[in-house]
Amino acid sequence: MSHGRSGMFVSTAELLRMVNDKYEDTSVRSKLINITRSMIEVDVLVLDDFGTEGGMTGNIKPVHKDLQDIMYRVSNARVDFNHNTAKGITIITTNNTKGQLKQMYEGKFIDRVYPDNPEQQLIFDGMKGVRNV
């Protein structure tokens, strides 16, 4: 950001909460529209705890269709298909495997956002958690 780039940090669990709340509170709809637009336009997008919105290990279920639609629209808009390049940087933090994420989301979406190239992955296996310390 100090170099003039824009950034956005999005909790996918909070985004799901907003998707669910839009049925009870109509003001949430305009917030979701603005958040989605920002997710598309930002230079660096961080999707934090991606996969928590589909449940924990052993209780994985498909993600709400409205959230899947938002994520797919965002991922499509962040790709320049004419030049086969990304429009900006998308960073995903997750505790889930690619297979688990495919149980939650459409496979074509996960294939687009989850890199197969190990040079584009930072894997932190065997680390001690800091939440319960």
12 is in which domain, residue-wise? 7-120
Look at residue 40 in the predicted model and tell me its pLDDT. 96
Per-residue b/e over 10-31, b at no fewer than 16 CB within 10 Å?
Answer: bbbeebbebbeebeeeeebeee
Q: Is the residue at 97 inside a domain?
A: yes
Q: Is the residue at 125 inside a domain?
A: no
**Residues of the chain with confidence (pLDDT) below 70:** 57, 126-127, 129-133
As for how many domains the chain has, the answer is 1
Torsion sign, CA atoms 8, 40, 93, 10 = positive
Task: Give the SS3 label for residue 91.
Answer: strand
Q: Is the residue at 61 inside a domain?
A: yes
pLDDT digits (tens, 9 = 90+) for 5-28: 999 999 999 999 999 999 899 899
CATH number of the domain within which 48 lies: 3.40.50.300
Q: Is the residue at 73 inside a domain?
A: yes
Q: Is the residue at 128 inside a domain?
A: no
Tokens 């808009």 -> residue: 77
